[in-house]
Structure 1
């Protein structure tokens, strides 16, 4: 379901009725005559729809986390808020950028339209910006020839639907050298499932081998990985994130029905 498009259509319909009544229909009604329901209801809903549409399109949009690909940063069932303007102002529905602002940087948790099906929203962490050379070798991330620091933080277990408990190692990874974020590494799973690698735009920028891969990020694109490294469908498999697919930057968890202590946590 394309909710932004539905909201836009409702905004146009109620707005047109509001305007036509203001310009024409109101003057034709007899003094004291009540508005017909098909005018009263759209006029009542128009300001509400306008506010919701404006907030979702230009300021903040809510999302729900449907999978475990970003564990332990984000859990299944987390409701998050996404900053829609930090990377620039985009026209709603068509997602066309009209005002440039900041560019995504390594470490940002990015919401974007899935390149293989733009009707689906994905969330991953940016590990490569245009021009970066990304190497993943034996589950070690290397950017532009520099090994990214990882500190072991102990064991971590979580429940995955259909699999029961999954046991992994938890690390702090330092993409920007100043502030770390948590990732999971499952030593029982290969770092790259080569059979899942698809043919994607700029596929020639990547070289795959038995223990990993090396990719050069093309202009106007980003390389994104899930924090749950061995349980994530990400740029390793379906390729780069085009700039035009970016929705915004995730910054806060605003609700979780199963864990109230997660409410209000910032996303790092």
Structure 2
């Protein structure tokens, strides 16, 4: 910034040094391709400029003329080093920037996006903001604002014709409830990166209407129940009424997983709603999950502490839960709360988590779960930590539990996190712009 106040002579001398550096670069990289005459011209003009630099208090105009003479030779002999096109300069700039960003990301701070609500309400995953009536649907500037600040993505089911609405449902294991059915489809994220989405299909007078949402998103079934039936109780009452007329319910098969021949049996159920062509059947926004920065450095110098949120990879977690349907190991990034160090014994009793026989401490989420306040639902006995069971963390491993214990697949289901797979700890939520933006808890 102080160059603004430098004298004309100082600026010209600085420019001359830069041109001499470029001339030396061209000489060393291209001397085997230049003729004796070309090398002589390059060295002569370089020497002339260098001599003027040695003269203290020289005339800036003489420096300027010598620079222009050297620049003329470099333009002729510089090859790819000079002159550079704007395309080459831009490519170089972006390559250097990419290397710096990737290096910083790999060794210091890495961004992550939380897809699910296993750590809710400490961290939010993707959520569905449902609009039960047309008057609730944000439009215009409000929609743009929600997109910019909350990452909101609109999904709507619009009737393609007039008629009765129906949808496919999975039958629950106990056979007492239905869940809106979906298929998993290959797709592209940002039109480039391969990903998988859930595809839900509604029918209006038999004509299908499909919407696609991220694979990890939950809440479409709930949005449907709220919009069409006022909630779970209204949907249950509708199903009881259909029991008296089973002929309206059709059974058929749905291919849920792409490339897997085995299909799931689903029920096509009328939803008791007739709509006109162009009418909204369902409308909601998908709000993005918390996007945060994880510190990759500190765990190289200090030991992870019980109570910290921590990010880890799943590639070395040996469990059937960590494999896809084809048997391949999942390699994903998870964020959970660290609840046990090597040698610790964990147990859950009456919604409270115990570590080595004492109520666990180290994070506000532990006590809030025990008291089931501020949205925390309490720790649940399940799988390896079912009632009366304990888990003891082996050497070189950690215990990881989600704050939303009722909706979290964690160490209770797939075991322990190898210490070698720990990435770091969350330090800052930078998006979306809500009251949670700021230092991570």
Distance 1:46 1:170, change over 3 A: same
Structure number with greater CO (CA < 8 Å, separation at least 6) is: 1
Q: Which residue of 2 aligns with 1:242?
A: 418
Corresponding position: 1:44 with 2:93: yes
Q: Output the TM-score relative to the length of structure 1.
A: 0.62
Could you tell me how far 1:66 is from its partner in structure 2? Answer: 0.4
Q: What is the alpha-carbon distance in structure 2 between the residues aligned to residue 145 and residue 154 of structure 1?
A: 15
Could you tell me how far 1:78 is from its partner in structure 2? Answer: 0.8
Residues 212-249 of structure 1 deviation map (CA, whole Å, 9 limit, x = unaligned): 53111111100010000111000000000001111110
Corresponding position: 1:71 with 2:274: no
Larger Rg: 2
Q: What is the alpha-carbon distance in structure 2 between the residues aligned to residue 23 and residue 59 of structure 1?
A: 36
Q: Which residue of 2 aligns with 1:202?
A: none
| SS at 1:122 equivalent | strand
Distance 1:151 1:227, change over 3 A: closer
Q: Which residue of 1 aligns with 2:333?
A: 121
CA contact (8 A) 2:310 2:338 kept: yes
| SS at 2:406 equivalent | coil
Could you tell me how far 1:123 is from its partner in structure 2? Answer: 0.2
5 Å-filtered alignment, 1:1-268, equals 24=29, 30-31=76-77, 33=79, 34-35=83-84, 40-76=89-125, 77-88=289-300, 101-114=301-314, 115=317, 116=322, 117=329, 119-148=331-360, 151=367, 169-170=372-373, 183-185=376-378, 191-192=381-382, 194=383, 208=384, 210-211=386-387, 213-256=389-432, 259-264=433-438, 266-268=439-441
CA contact (8 A) 1:107 1:127 kept: yes
Could you tell me how far 1:267 is from its partner in structure 2? Answer: 1.9
Distance 1:249 1:152, change over 3 A: closer
Q: What is the alpha-carbon distance in structure 2 between the residues aligned to residue 50 and residue 84 of structure 1?
A: 17
Give the total of aligned pairs.
194
Structural RMSD (CA) = 3.3
Q: Which structure carries more strand by proportion?
A: 1
Could you tell me how far 1:51 is from its partner in structure 2? Answer: 1.4
Q: Output the TM-score relative to the length of structure 2.
A: 0.39
| SS at 2:405 equivalent | coil
Q: What is the alpha-carbon distance in structure 2 between the residues aligned to residue 145 and residue 212 of structure 1?
A: 13
Q: What is the alpha-carbon distance in structure 2 between the residues aligned to residue 22 and residue 69 of structure 1?
A: 61
CA contact (8 A) 1:118 1:245 kept: no
Residues 170-200 of structure 1 deviation map (CA, whole Å, 9 limit, x = unaligned): 26xxxxxxxxxx84338xxx631x3xxxxxx
Query: Which consecutive residues of structure 2, in runs of 5 or more, have no partner in the other structure?
Result: 1-25, 34-74, 126-288, 323-328
Q: Which structure carries more helix by proportion?
A: 2
| SS at 2:117 equivalent | coil
Could you tell me how far 1:41 is from its partner in structure 2? Answer: 4.9
Q: What is the alpha-carbon distance in structure 2 between the residues aligned to residue 105 and residue 243 of structure 1?
A: 13
| SS at 2:377 equivalent | strand
CA contact (8 A) 2:113 2:291 kept: yes
Could you tell me how far 1:69 is from its partner in structure 2? Answer: 0.4
